[in-house]
């Protein structure tokens, strides 16, 4: 009797394993869920190496992963670059913080256990003395990094950086400026790098 119960239990476990494998194959072919309760998957895995843990991918190499969902991209970290040597803006005169260019903005869901690093760099110059230029990285409606200069007619290099820890919600990030005084502002070679990756 005990042997029959044992064989029946083993048969049940085998059937469950087949069902789970079938479900994974149908719903997540070649994919693995990345850190975070709702966060994106890596598709088309090519994994080498040995695993000393239980499904933890220890000591393994993921070759050219494709990230699907939000955020999305190819490879880890996901790097989004906006702007460049042709992103030049002159005659900026807003006295309240405004986006330098909406095409430089980035809206993304940063999953829990992920991080987003933003680096904005550019050169700026005021058209005359007697004024100031202010800059910020803005998250939604909150200033999270800032800088300024007030030397008219002198070129300045500005670099702003910000690290955001994912909370699973969507956020809009932008580079903004404002000025004071009877001057206008020019910014040149504006480059923003958004770098997304698991935090651990």
Last residue of a domain, one of 73, 91, 119: 73
CA 2 to chain centre: 56
Residue 50 DSSP SS3: coil
Range of the domain at 165: 75-198
Q: Which of 117, 110, 139 is nearest to 194 (CA)?
A: 117
Q: Are residues 102 and 153 in the same domain?
A: yes
Per-residue pLDDT of the chain (200 residues; tens, 9 = 90+): 555 555 554 555 554 544 444 443 444 444 444 544 455 555 555 555 555 544 555 566 666 666 766 677 666 789 999 999 999 999 999 999 999 999 999 999 999 999 999 999 999 999 999 999 999 999 999 999 999 999 999 999 999 999 999 999 999 999 999 999 999 999 999 999 999 999 87
CB-count exposure of residue 61 (10 Å: 0-12, 13-18, 19+): exposed
Q: Are residues 99 and 56 in the same domain?
A: no
Residue 61 has a pLDDT of 60
Q: Are residues 129 and 178 in the same domain?
A: yes
Give kind and range of the element (H or E) at residue 172: strand 170-180
Q: Which of 135, 118, 117, 139 is nearest to 126 (CA)?
A: 135
Q: Are residues 141 and 63 in the same domain?
A: no
> What gap in Å lies between CA 3 and CA 76, rounded to an integer?
50
Residue 199 has a pLDDT of 87
Q: Concatenate the DSSP letters of all residues of 103-166 into one string.
A: GG-EEEE--TTEEEEEEEEEEEEESSSS-EEEEEEEETTEEEEEEEE--BTS-EEEEEEEEEE-
Q: Are residues 111 and 192 in the same domain?
A: yes
Last residue of a domain, one of 32, 51, 73: 73
Q: Are residues 105 and 183 in the same domain?
A: yes
> What gap in Å lies between CA 111 and CA 37, rounded to an integer?
8
Q: Are residues 88 and 171 in the same domain?
A: yes
Last residue of a domain, one of 28, 44, 73: 73
- Looking up residue 174, the CATH number of its domain turns out to be 2.60.120.1340
Q: Are residues 62 and 153 in the same domain?
A: no
Q: Are residues 61 and 100 in the same domain?
A: no
- Give Cα separations from 40 to 18, 77, 78, 125, 129 (angstroms): 25, 13, 12, 41, 50
Q: Are residues 179 and 110 in the same domain?
A: yes
Q: How many domains does the chain have?
A: 2
Q: Are residues 81 and 171 in the same domain?
A: yes
Q: Are residues 69 and 128 in the same domain?
A: no
> What gap in Å lies between CA 75 and CA 50, rounded to an integer?
21
């Amino acid at each position: 009797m005990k042997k029959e119960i044992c064989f029946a239990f083993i048969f049940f476990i085998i059937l469950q394993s087949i069902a789970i494998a079938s479900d994974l194959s149908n719903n997540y072919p070649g994919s693995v869920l990345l850190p975070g309760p709702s966060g994106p998957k890596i598709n088309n895995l090519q994994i080498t190496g040995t695993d000393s843990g239980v499904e933890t991918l220890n000591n393994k190499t993921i070759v050219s992963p494709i990230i699907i969902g939000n955020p999305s991209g190819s490879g880890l970290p996901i790097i989004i670059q906006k702007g460049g040597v042709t992103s030049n803006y002159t005659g900026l005169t807003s006295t309240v913080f405004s986006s330098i260019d909406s095409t430089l903005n980035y809206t993304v869901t940063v999953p829990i256990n992920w991080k987003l690093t933003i680096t904005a760099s550019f050169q700026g110059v005021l058209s005359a003395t007697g004024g100031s230029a202010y800059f910020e990285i803005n998250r939604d409606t909150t200033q999270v990094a800032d800088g300024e200069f007030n030397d008219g007619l002198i070129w300045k290099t500005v670099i702003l950086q910000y690290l955001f820890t994912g909370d699973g919600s969507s956020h809009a990030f932008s580079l903004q400026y404002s000025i004071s005084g009877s001057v206008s502002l020019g910014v040149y070679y504006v480059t923003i790098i958004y770098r997304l990756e698991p935090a651990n």
